[in-house]
Amino acid sequence: MSNASPPLIKPITLGSGPRAVTLETPVILAPLSGVTDLPFRALAKSLGAGLVVSEMIASWAMVRENRNTMRMAEVVAGGGPSSVQLAGCEPDAMAEAARIAVANGADLIDINFGCPVKKVALGQAAGSALMRDEVMAGKILAATVRAVDVPVTLKMRMGWDHNSLNAPTLARIAQDTGIAMVTVHGRTRQQFYEGVADWDFIAHVKAAVQIPLIVNGDITSGPKAAEALRRSGADGVMIGRGAYGRPWFLKQVADYLRTGELPAPPTLAGQKEILLRHYAAIRAHFGEKGGVRLARKHVSWYSHGLRGSAAFRAQMNRLDSGAAVEALIDSFYDPLIESGFIRQDEMALAA
């Protein structure tokens, strides 16, 4: 990709009328259970994510206004649109959950037909299981679209397995029911997260519909994002695991897709500042005890690739005090910052 190349992404407008949503930057943070909580989404949005999507919310729990569920569905105020993702197998419950989410500030509703987890797909007949029941899938999509005046989107996989790659068919059903945009993860349910995402197959889904399509799966660098767009013909990218420990990554990808230049990541001092901001937000949102525990995985991801990180993580995971963890972060990062340490992956990107 050169500076003379046209941008690979452009704004996408979803829906029409006063509640239409324009994604100025279609580089989207994927919904990730246990990861994309409100602190993570707020941070990613502040650092340049074009759209952030909540953790998957069970429709029945939303309807019952379960306290923890309502906290999971909180939207990020200001700075562009936020989406709430819903999962369920009953059209009426999905419709009511969507109404509640919109009343609480959601700019978009996303429907999950992609979750591969056994508890959801088999135990609840939701998530990716709905790719095996196109009639019920259509009823859920139609009921949700009718229930709200904001755009409704869909996230799914290629199919249940390689013998039933029906994402193009479901995309057409979605379009016919009024779904405004479709995201496809380039794996089947049976693959879970193994193997390689098939961006070429997603081109068949793109050819089946006129609504915008987003490609998802294995997007871990700017060049991979560009390749995914070229091979799929998609209108934007969704990034999940690639953003672990680097919430600034979505802005890097967006800049690369617009300019062809690989932007530098924040300096290590800048990364430490973002980590501490994230850590404080987690503790404020979940409370000291719960926050310290929940933050451990994030701190581990931030430190990945840094010299001595294994010992740092082992020590951090034994601490129960937020102040003690912050002191440990200082003692770990500051010598690296002073020495000018650069991660190997960052050196590769700069080459």
pLDDT confidence tier of residue 121, bands split at 50, 70 and 90: confident
- Quote the pLDDT of residue 165: 98
Please give the full DSSP string across 5-21, using - where no structure is assigned. SPPS---EEES-GGG-E
Examine the pLDDT at 348 and tell me if it is beyond 80.
no
Task: For residue range 284-328, list pLDDT tens digits in order.
Answer: 999 999 999 999 999 999 999 999 999 999 999 999 999 999 999
Q: Report which DSSP code applies to 149.
A: S
pLDDT confidence tier of residue 4, bands split at 50, 70 and 90: low
Identify the CA nearest to 275 among candidates 249, 246, 252, 251.
246
- Distance (Å, whole) CA 110 – CA 41: 15
How many angstroms separate the most distant Cα atoms in the chain? 60
- Quote the pLDDT of residue 91: 97
Task: Output the CA torsion 12→15→18→19 (10° steps).
Answer: -90
pLDDT confidence tier of residue 345, bands split at 50, 70 and 90: low
User: 3-class SS at 340?
Assistant: coil
Task: For residue range 136-175, list pLDDT tens digits in order.
Answer: 999 999 999 999 999 999 999 999 999 999 999 999 999 9
Task: For residue range 168-205, list pLDDT tens digits in order.
Answer: 999 999 999 999 999 999 999 999 999 999 999 999 99
Please tell me the pTM assigned to this model.
Answer: 0.94
* pLDDT, average across residues 83-107: 95
Are 350 and 256 spatial neighbours (Cβ–Cβ below 8 Å)?
no
Please give the full DSSP string across 217-286, using - where no structure is assigned. SS--SHHHHHHHHHHH--SEEEESGGGTT-TTHHHHHHHHHHHS--PPPPPHHHHHHHHHHHHHHHHHHH
Are 84 and 37 spatial neighbours (Cβ–Cβ below 8 Å)?
no
User: 3-class SS at 191?
Assistant: coil
Please give the full DSSP string across 115-143, using - where no structure is assigned. ---HHHHTTSS-GGGGGG-HHHHHHHHHH
Catalytic residue among 44, 115, 184, 299: 115
- Distance (Å, whole) CA 85 – CA 32: 10
- Quote the pLDDT of residue 346: 59
* Radius of gyration in angstroms for the set of CA atoms belonging to the chain, rounded to a whole number: 20
Task: For residue range 319-341, list pLDDT tens digits in order.
Answer: 999 999 999 999 999 999 999 99
- For residue 269, the number of C-alpha atoms closer than 13 Å in the C-beta half-sphere is 5
- Quote the pLDDT of residue 64: 86
pLDDT confidence tier of residue 347, bands split at 50, 70 and 90: very low
Q: What are phi and psi of 5, to 5 degrees?
A: -70, 145
Q: List Cβ neighbours of 68 (8 Å cut-off, separation of 6 or more).
A: none
Task: For residue range 239-274, list pLDDT tens digits in order.
Answer: 999 999 999 999 999 999 999 998 889 999 999 999
Q: List Cβ neighbours of 150 (8 Å cut-off, separation of 6 or more).
A: 15, 19, 21, 102, 106, 107, 108, 109
Q: Report which DSSP code applies to 159.
A: -
- Distance (Å, whole) CA 224 – CA 289: 39
- Quote the pLDDT of residue 70: 85
Please give the C-alpha separations between residue 68 and each of 253, 286, 297, in angstroms, as whole numbers: 32, 10, 20
- Whether residue 89 lies in the annotated active site: no
Hey, which of 76-85, 230-239, 336-345 has the most confident mean pLDDT?
A: 230-239
* pLDDT, average across residues 102-124: 93
